[in-house]
Amino acid sequence: MIKTFFIRVYGCQMNFADAERLRRALVGSGWKETENPEEASALLAISCSIRQKAENRVLSFLSSYKHLKKKGTVLCLLGCTANLYGEEILKRFPFIDVVCGPNHISYIPQILENPITKKMVLTGENSSPFMELVESNEETSMMIPITKGCNNFCSYCVVPMARGRLQSKDPQKILKEIKSSVNRGVRYVVLLGQNVNEYGKDFKNKCDFGDLLSDVCKINGLLRVGFLTSHPEDTSKKILQIMAENQNVIRRLHIPLQSGSNKILRNMNRKYTVEKFLNVVEMARNLMPDISITSDILLGFPEETDSDFNETLKIVEKVRFSELYIFKYSPRPGTKAYLLKDNVSKEEKEHRHRTLLETQKKISNEIMQSFSGKTCEVFIERKSIKKQNHFIGRNIQDFPVILEGTEDIIGKIVRTKIFNHSDGFLCGSKLEEYQ
Ligand code: SAH
Ligand code: SF4
Ligand code: F3S
């Protein structure tokens, strides 16, 4: 009998990277992926709990397939929600067979090999939480988790509970993994962590994120290196200098501001001030004038007044981020802020969200427009699904670009003239040379 799995992923890039490794491990041991949950012998949901809505979505997804139990389908809740609630999940959702947090996902292929005779719960810390990579010849770009967990305990955030404490992956293992992927055709890697700048803080030796980034950039044949997410408090001059010195590092810095009010930042336990944030932005722009800066804003945190919000608006207008991810505060059990009254009304959160979105839309549009007539070096990732003979890539500032071309440009850098932008893409036409 063919063993088939269906996988649904919620949440951030960390979950997508976990899903990709799990997918490859399963396929490597004889499983087949299906796009139809009804056909699957194992239904895997990789969950996120960052906001209540994300959590509800994954649990209602699994609930809607509980009828498959009759056919013997194994239902698995993996990822952050699984780790947060453990056994409790089984009481509320008795149709779930396996509950497995992000630090134990590497056990899933082995677990699924045998019939599930009793419920399984795997949560908490693990001394080797990183899943090995099963090699593939199909990819030209790849996400590489370099840390797990987080030690920052921002007062609103569930990640330190959902993913545990910070654990950095051995630098030699990371370099080996990237080198062998490059040998198989990978040309673009994104180093991933909840706060990549903290990489190595749990090591006895002195290897830090700057050292790792510098070594990764020197790998022969690697055309592009990106990383996510940077914390404003830990974005050092050293890291920015290494970015500036290495032409294959993406000129994009994703540094979540969260709020433009020092009072709110303090209550969020973010450990930096607006002034420090602006200083990082200035340092980055001095070293790399063409850098694109993107950010997250969390609005409606307890006690956020109109005047606090206006300070956020002011900073957004001042910095001119290329892109902004705006979230409405959602109280999370187990966090420090959960004890505070969620006292910004739903309507007010909605209003602030709309205001910020409109301001940002205008800025993003102007920045996209400024590329018109310019030439960019675009790394081509894949074929466009919607537009025939068109390909999707990213320029050095990580903006998505669409252009006409032929299959042979995938995995290469194409000099492209930008003539327009539409639906979040820069539209370009290929100039002759490419490498
Ligand atoms: N590690 C990253 C962000 C991780 S979570 C950092 O420190 O910046 C991604 C984003 O989700 C956060 O930047 C924040 O804006 C948002 N977020 C986190 N907890 C939230 C909550 N309780 N409610 C709403 N948004 C939240
Ligand atoms: Fe959450 Fe803060 Fe850690 Fe980011 S740095 S994952 S917001 S605790
Ligand atoms: Fe969500 Fe976990 Fe990422 S809670 S945002 S999937 S680290």
pLDDT band, residue 205 (cuts 50/70/90): confident
- What are the pLDDT digits (tens) for 178-198? 999 999 999 999 999 999 999
- For the record, the structure tokens of 205 come out as 């030796």
- Best of 327, 339, 350, 356 to mutate for ligand 1, by most ligand atoms within 8 A of CB? 327
- What are the pLDDT digits (tens) for 350-403? 999 999 999 999 999 999 999 999 999 999 999 999 999 999 999 999 999 999
The whole-number pLDDT of residue 1 equals 66
Mean pLDDT of 320-342: 98
Residue nearest to atom 4 of ligand 2 (CA): 194
CA of 279 from ligand 1 middle (Å) equals: 22
Contact 4, 31 (CB under 8 A): yes
Contact 140, 408 (CB under 8 A): no
The whole-number pLDDT of residue 312 equals 98
Q: Is the CB of 342 under 6 A from ligand 1?
A: no
CA distance linking residue 178 with residue 188, whole number of Å = 10
CA distance linking residue 308 with residue 310, whole number of Å = 5
Contact 45, 62 (CB under 8 A): yes
- What are the pLDDT digits (tens) for 64-118? 999 999 999 999 999 999 999 999 999 999 999 999 999 999 999 999 998 888 9
Q: Is the CB of 188 under 6 A from ligand 1?
A: no
CA of 159 from ligand 3 middle (Å) equals: 6
Nearest-10 Cα torsion for 295, 300, 304, 310: 50
| 147 closest CA partner among 83, 81, 196 | 196
Q: Is the CB of 243 under 6 A from ligand 2?
A: no
- What are the pLDDT digits (tens) for 215-256? 999 999 999 999 999 999 999 999 999 999 999 999 999 999
Q: Is the CB of 197 under 6 A from ligand 1?
A: no
The whole-number pLDDT of residue 28 equals 93
Q: Is the CB of 47 under 6 A from ligand 1?
A: no
CA of 296 from ligand 1 middle (Å) equals: 7
- Best of 13, 161, 194 to mutate for ligand 2, by most ligand atoms within 8 A of CB? 194
Contact 227, 196 (CB under 8 A): yes
CA of 397 from ligand 2 middle (Å) equals: 24
The whole-number pLDDT of residue 204 equals 86
Q: Is the CB of 153 under 6 A from ligand 2?
A: yes
CA of 432 from ligand 3 middle (Å) equals: 42
The whole-number pLDDT of residue 121 equals 97
Q: From the centroid of its chain, how far is CA 121?
A: 26
pLDDT band, residue 26 (cuts 50/70/90): very high
Nearest 5°: phi and psi at 176?
-65, -45
- What are the pLDDT digits (tens) for 138-159? 899 999 999 999 999 999 999 9
Where do the domains of the chain lie, and which CATH numbers do they carry? Answer: 4-122 (3.40.50.12160), 141-369 (3.80.30.20), 375-434 (2.40.50.140)
Spell out the residues 6+ positions from residue 423 whose beta carbon is closer than 8 angstroms to its own: none
Q: Is the CB of 61 under 6 A from ligand 2?
A: no
CA of 157 from ligand 1 middle (Å) equals: 6
Mean pLDDT of 171-176: 97
- Best of 80, 194, 296 to mutate for ligand 1, by most ligand atoms within 8 A of CB? 296
- What are the pLDDT digits (tens) for 250-273? 999 999 999 999 999 999 999 999
- For the record, the structure tokens of 283 come out as 């340092």
Q: Is the CB of 157 under 6 A from ligand 2?
A: yes
The whole-number pLDDT of residue 138 equals 82
- What are the pLDDT digits (tens) for 12-24? 999 999 999 999 9
CA distance linking residue 175 with residue 291, whole number of Å = 26
Residue 8: what residue type?
Answer: R
The whole-number pLDDT of residue 435 equals 59
Residue nearest to atom 5 of ligand 2 (CA): 152
- CA 347-350-353 angle, 5° bins: 150
As for ligand 3, residues whose beta carbon falls within 6 Å of it are 11-12, 14-15, 48-50, 80, 158-159, 162-163
Query: Beta strand pairing status for 413-422 and 425-434?
Result: antiparallel
| Ligand 2 atom showing the smallest separation from residue 153 Cα | 8
CA of 221 from ligand 3 middle (Å) equals: 32
| Ligand 1 atom showing the smallest separation from residue 156 Cα | 22
Spell out the residues 6+ positions from residue 254 whose beta carbon is closer than 8 angstroms to its own: 228, 229, 230, 293, 294, 295
Q: What does the mean pLDDT of the chain come to?
A: 96
Indicate if the pLDDT at residue 434 is higher than 80. no
